[in-house]
Amino acid sequence: MNYSNKNGSSESPITILPLTKQRELTAWIATTLAVSVIGILNNIFVLRVTWPVTQRISGVSLLISHFVVVNLLICLVSLPASIFVIILTQHYGSLIAGRSCYYIQTLWIVNVSVVNWSDAGLVGNRFVALYFPHSYKLWMTTRVSAAIIVGSWILCIGVMLPFTLASVGQRVALSALGQCSLVVTGRLGSFFNSFMAFVPYAVSGTGSLFILRKCFGFSKLRSGRVRHEARVQADATANRRLITARMLLFTFLWCGVCMLPTYLTIVVFPWLYVSNSVSILWTKTAMACQYAFTPCILLLTNRIIENERESSLLEDGPPLSRQLLTLHQGDRRVQFRPHGR
């Protein structure tokens, strides 16, 4: 463990800060904890709404529920724990907090990595649904989705542990302010950052562009086509998949906005971590907003899908299979004409 406040002084680090910075630090702790609490409530509520029913569990519903769970884990455990280390450092010094930094930073990194890869898995699922609709049920079964979830955890834990716990915390650093960080440089650092963020973001971004292209193409196709009876259910299914795909696109854009301050600071303004260690903490609050408010996009999408189903029943009547059964009475065929069209 690397300590940057070994100066032989028994004075608490917070007393070294100017009064304005002490107030800013207190405001940051209060604000970030408030965002964390809001995130806990949001994720629990959305999890109750989107949790798949046993009778109609599907691959995508399992992936969405897992995505909400890992966001909940960050708001419930990882984020408050990192704030707790800062508070602990201010009152008891870095020795006590440093010991917990090994585990807290490991949990944070693994959790964030799983969120990023879960998002990439969801985008991949929607890509298959839109571009290979006839093979979707065969390729994206519940077992495949479960394997993706388990695999993401095994992969992230297997890659992250050598950087933290397996190296006996030699790469985990604790600043004088109490912020845990992982110090990885060179090719090893490039690999670490690529696996943790760049690769899953690239997968999500590329998939979102393909999804956006498909959305525009499908909208033009529907606007220039008269709906026939045989396409009612197919259009409804495709429309629900498009709504979910748009949700993933909005999720990707929202995550990009929340993560942008952190990556800009790391790449362009790394000196801020030393010269302005208090203000730089607000980048973590921006990250917290990602995990706290992303479920709101999922909830909005779920309501839109339910409204689409209800409006589809009102406009098109009973399911098409039930309608077709009533069209054949005896040996006489009855031509089906939707009411009011």
pLDDT at residue 72, as a whole number: 94
Q: Based on the number of CB atoms within 10 Å of its own CB, is 207 exposed (0-12), middle (13-18) or buried (19 or more)?
A: buried
pLDDT at 236 over 80: no
pLDDT at residue 226, as a whole number: 45
Residue 330 is encoded by which pair of tokens?
Answer: 């005896």
Distance CA 156, CA 125 (A): 20
Token pair 């690239």: residue: 202
Distance CA 88, CA 94 (A): 8
Distance CA 26, CA 278 (A): 10
Phi-psi region of 98 (alpha: psi -120 to 50; beta: other; left: phi over 0): alpha
Confidence of residue 51 (pLDDT cuts 50, 70, 90): confident
Q: Which CATH fold topology does 2-319 show?
A: Rhopdopsin 7-helix transmembrane proteins (1.20.1070)
Q: Which residues contact 63 (CB under 8 A, 6 or more apart)?
A: 118, 121, 122, 125, 145, 148, 149
Q: Which residues contact 77 (CB under 8 A, 6 or more apart)?
A: 107, 111
CA 150 distance to own-chain centroid: 16
Is residue 21 within 8 A of residue 278, CB to CB? The reply is yes
* pLDDT average, residue stretch 116-129: 87
332 DSSP 8-state letter? E
Cα dihedral: 334, 335, 338, 341 (round 10): -140
pLDDT at residue 234, as a whole number: 58
pLDDT at residue 288, as a whole number: 93
Pairwise pLDDT comparison (41 vs 94), residue with the higher score: 41
Distance CA 244, CA 264 (A): 30
Is residue 88 within 8 A of residue 178, CB to CB? The reply is yes
Nearest one of 96, 74, 79 to 29, comparing CA atoms:
79
pLDDT at residue 326, as a whole number: 35
Q: Based on the number of CB atoms within 10 Å of its own CB, is 244 exposed (0-12), middle (13-18) or buried (19 or more)?
A: buried
pLDDT at 32 over 90: yes
Residue 156 is encoded by which pair of tokens?
Answer: 């992230």
Q: 172: which strand partners?
A: 182
Is residue 86 within 8 A of residue 29, CB to CB? The reply is yes
**pLDDT tens digits, 294-334:** 888 777 765 655 555 555 444 444 443 333 233 333 444 43
CA 46 distance to own-chain centroid: 13
Strand order in the sheet with 172-174: 2-3, 172-174, 180-182
Q: Where are the domains of the chain?
A: 2-319
Residue 251, amino acid:
T
181 DSSP 8-state letter? E
> What percent of the chain has pLDDT above 70?
65
Considering the entire predicted model, what is its pTM?
A: 0.76
Is residue 130 within 8 A of residue 214, CB to CB? The reply is yes
